[in-house]
Homo-oligomer: A and B are copies of this chain.
Amino acid sequence: MRKLKHEEIPRPSPAAVSALPKHPISVVLDNVRSLYNVGSIFRTSDAALIEKLYLTGITGTPDNRGLHKTALGAQDTVAWAYEKDPVAVAHRLREAGYTLAVLEITDTPTRTTAVKSDHFPLCLVVGNELSGVRDDLVHLADLALEIPQYGAKQSLNVAVAYGIAVFDLVRCFRSFE
């Protein structure tokens, strides 16, 4: 087998991507402290072709140049908005028919691979590196998504956990089409 050269890999233009129908997944990034993680999440969100990233609380925005180092341009191809209050975003999206799903370890876990067709459109809420998703958002949620972990630590980096979860959601959604 042969590795494709950089110029052989098909890359739709940002304008073409912008015109594509998106996967019906919006994401709330609440109180994510590290610009490195936020940038990486932008890059993953471009690859997963989600609708929109809502940056809330202390989460940094692309106005911080430190984020560009890991976003690598995805800050210009993914729709995003900053809103201070994640609860207001969550209420608005639920009223618009979205299922509110937190990525968090709770007493009622649902696997990221077990999402159903009527859970879309879906709003995925990702929280702080240390404290996770805020309790008031967990209480509001319809679903708590969990990635099964088999080791001693029971803790994944937030950008890695987001990558696993959002690609599972995209795969679920595409399997229903």
Measured CB to CB, the residues of A under 8 A from B are 1-4, 9-14, 16-17, 20, 23, 36, 40, 43-49, 70, 72-74, 77-78, 104-108, 113, 132-133, 135, 138-139, 141, 144, 147, 149-157, 159-164, 167, 170-171
So how many copies of this chain end up in the complex?
A: 2
Q: Lowest 10 A-B CB distances belong to which pairs?
A: A46-B151, A49-B150, A160-B163, A47-B149, A17-B152, A77-B152, A1-B108, A40-B157, A1-B106, A46-B153
Q: Contact: A12 with B157, CB < 8 Å?
A: no
Q: Which B residue's beta carbon lies closest to that of A16?
A: B152
Q: How far is the CB of A36 from chain B (nearest CB, A)?
A: 7
Known: A1-B144, A160-B163. A77 touches B153 (CB 8 A): yes
